[in-house]
Amino acid sequence: MQRFLAGLVVALAIVLIGYISLFSIWTNTNEFDSYALTGRLADELEYLTGTNDHRFLEAEDAARAGGWQSNQKPTLNLGNRSEGAWVRFRVENRSPEPLERLLMVDWSYHLIEARVFDRANGQWSAPVHTGNFIEHSQRGIASPVLALPITLPSGPAEVYLRLESQLPLILPMRMVDRETFHREALYDYLRMGAFFGAMLVMMLYSASLFIFIRDRSYIYYCCYLAAIILYVGSIYSYGSYFLWSEWPWFNLRVDFLSIGLAFLSACVFERQFLNIKSEGRWLERCINMIIFYWSSVVLVSLLFPQYAYELFIEEAGALTCIVMLGIAFIIWQRGNVSAGYFFIAWLCLVTSTFFLMLAMSGVLSMNFAIRAAQLLGFILEFLLLSIALAERISRERASRMEAQKALLVVQEQNTKVLEKKVALRTRQLEEANRELLHLSTTDPLTGLNNRRGFEEKFDEALELSLEKSVPLAFLMIDIDHFKAINDTHGHNVGDECLALVGKTLVHYCQGDNAFAGRLGGEEFATVFYGLSSERAEAMAERIRTAIAELIVATTGEPIWFTVSIGVATGLAHLDDTLPTFAEEADKSLYQAKLQGRNRVVLSVRQEREERLRPISSTLFDDNPMLPAK
């Protein structure tokens, strides 16, 4: 990108230099253009300063006294002269008849007054006037192009001009006939119309972009465009002719005011567009000092225009251009592409203005090409600045898109991480809930279901029994003489007995067809799903036998203990509940206690026995804990 911008700089510089050179050769505007007139105006000019109160006769008397000075430069430049100046040149009409010519001045003046002195007859012509302070009807030629109609008598004559302007007294002039004037005025109208039209289009377009984008660079860009339009309208006299000719207060101040506003808006735009605040404190101080100076110029031009001459505006303008170019170049070298566009845009303007300054200083001849080159420089500058603004928007949009993509990637990654965390936390919560449910349904001493857990599982078994018509075997188990064990050996031994019973029941209740629980104290219950009464009784006997063989170690002699088991088997009825089976099994347990304990008593409804056997003979045969058929 930097190589491209550098190449663009060279190309635009070549275009400007070639344009100025070709038109300088093609248009030799200082030459007399009539076959009857000879010489060059610039070589014939003489000037007289410090004579603001002179009249034409007094100026002619000063000429006899030798107070006039000869011009030695291609273009007369008297600098800032608040008192004005007189200029004269000699001309000889070799034709026998008077010739009418138009004296065109390509600069801005408040007042130009002209008279012709016929040396042969010693007579003065009537005065003619033009300038920004002269009403349209009082001008010699009613046109924004400053021109004076003069009639040259046959033979030698002298043309006297009285000049007044706020700007430096520069006198690029040419003498043409009316046909040439009208043709050149038409070209000038077209050129200026194209310039103002292009500037207004860019300003309106940028204003519309500011409305939609809300980027302050666009509003500063519009202000800069408006200031340049005001400057060109003032310098080329179009504004005073078409817009503010009836406003003498503004007309008196507009020249320096337009220059101050142009530089001020350019500096403010550069500070905002290049974001100089972020580029370093010393760069920001430089641009702020320049902004302060041109703000002062604007205030002085508005309030005290008579002192504007003393502000060294020409020198300050040259220094401002150098500083602004330097700041843009430094920021460009730091990698800011927008600064490269700004540097090239300003280089185009400074290049065209440089030739204008050379012409103003008298090094070059002031002509149409040099003045038009500055207009071309303005248009190129603002076109490049428009491209720079569009490029910055595109770059910022691409940057935002990249940032959005990166943000989406980060969001997706964060979402995945969050989903993993949520899933992990969900699993942890599920495990915690299962653990909590297990704790809430498990007896901590024996590891069996507590009463709540036992009831929940029994309800599931009861529903399955009703659905599939398979029997349930309910075993009510009670430790014999448990109170005596506690009283004799202590509660620790009693707890050990309870834990051993729990381990034994867990051993015999493996699989999904059986479960056990501690109902309270030394009372336990076991349910087997799908066992016939014979197998249920055999299972109960095996459990009783296994418990009777358990040994509990104590501080003294080891002890043994036994259990009594009541068994209730059968198909479930619709009105059956846990208490229904528990009551039947408890009755059988009570019978076992009455019969001497350490035994199993079975309770079976005989009318259902035949239905139970064929079903139980095919269910759960693969359980190793179940008794053989």
Rounded to whole angstroms, the Cα distance separating 351 from 136 reads 35
Token readout for 195 is 């310039």
Q: Which amino acid is at 395?
A: R
Residue 210 contacts residue 389 (beta carbons within 8 Å): no
- Measured over the CA atoms of residue 236, residue 238, residue 240 and residue 241, the dihedral's sign is positive
Q: Which region, left, alpha or beta, applies to residue 530 given φ > 0 means left and ψ of -120 to 50 means alpha?
A: left
Rounded to whole angstroms, the Cα distance separating 623 from 629 reads 12
Structure letter (DSSP) for residue 139: S
Q: Which amino acid is at 370?
A: I
Rounded to whole angstroms, the Cα distance separating 6 from 16 reads 16
- Measured over the CA atoms of residue 296, residue 301, residue 236 and residue 222, the dihedral's sign is positive
Residue 600 contacts residue 541 (beta carbons within 8 Å): yes
Residue 99 contacts residue 151 (beta carbons within 8 Å): yes
- Measured over the CA atoms of residue 607, residue 608, residue 610 and residue 611, the dihedral's sign is positive
Strand partners, 123: 118
Kindly state the helix (H) or strand (E) to which residue 536 belongs, with its residue range: helix 533-548
Torsion of CA 586, 588, 594, 597, to 10 degrees: -90
Nearest alpha-carbon partner for 98 in 152, 138, 170:
152
Neighbours of 290 (CB within 10 A): 23
Single out the catalytic residue among 158, 279, 381, 522.
522
Neighbours of 139 (CB within 10 A): 20
Nearest alpha-carbon partner for 340 in 378, 391, 374:
391
Residue 70 contacts residue 48 (beta carbons within 8 Å): no
Position of tokens 């901590």? Answer: 444
Q: Which amino acid is at 259?
A: I
Examine the residue annotation and report whether 610 is marked as an active-site residue of this protein: no
Nearest alpha-carbon partner for 157 in 29, 36, 35:
36
Strand partners, 129: 113
Structure letter (DSSP) for residue 572: P
Q: Which residues does the annotation mark as catalytic? A: 522
